[in-house]
């Protein structure tokens, strides 16, 4: 059973790596910075995280469709508005 789980994880990581290398997405911004944890005005806790440095586009943000966030291992799903 452990071998099956390990195999599935390897396959998942290989698929993401191949998709990234195949030119899917626009490519994440290579410059990022850390954001300290904070509490919003409505009382919601936001844990610390990393985000791309600001620039004139949203297409290279970690959460934009087709981009990959190396810090949490997730692929972006949001449509950039500009």
* Tens digit of pLDDT at every position of the chain (82 positions): 665 555 555 655 555 544 444 344 457 777 899 999 999 999 999 999 999 999 999 998 999 998 999 989 999 999 988 7
pLDDT value, residue 20: 46
CA distances from 46 to 13, 33, 50, 56, 58 (A): 27, 16, 12, 25, 21
pLDDT value, residue 7: 54
pLDDT value, residue 19: 46
Q: Which two tokens stand for residue 9?
A: 């994880």
pLDDT value, residue 12: 58
Beta bridge partners of 39: 45
pLDDT value, residue 65: 92
Q: What is the DSSP-derived secondary structure letter of residue 24?
A: -
Q: Return the CA Rg of the chain.
A: 16
Taking residue 70's Cβ as centre, other Cβ atoms within 10 Å add up to 11
């Amino acid at each position: 059973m452990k071998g099956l789980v390990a195999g599935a994880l390897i396959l998942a990581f290989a698929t993401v790596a191949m998709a990234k290398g195949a030119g899917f997405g626009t490519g994440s911004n290579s410059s990022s910075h850390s954001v300290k944890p904070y509490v919003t005005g409505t009382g919601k806790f936001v844990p610390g995280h990393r985000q791309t440095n600001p620039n004139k586009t949203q297409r290279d943000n970690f959460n934009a469709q087709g981009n990959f966030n190396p810090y949490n291992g997730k692929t972006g799903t949001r449509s950039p508005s500009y």
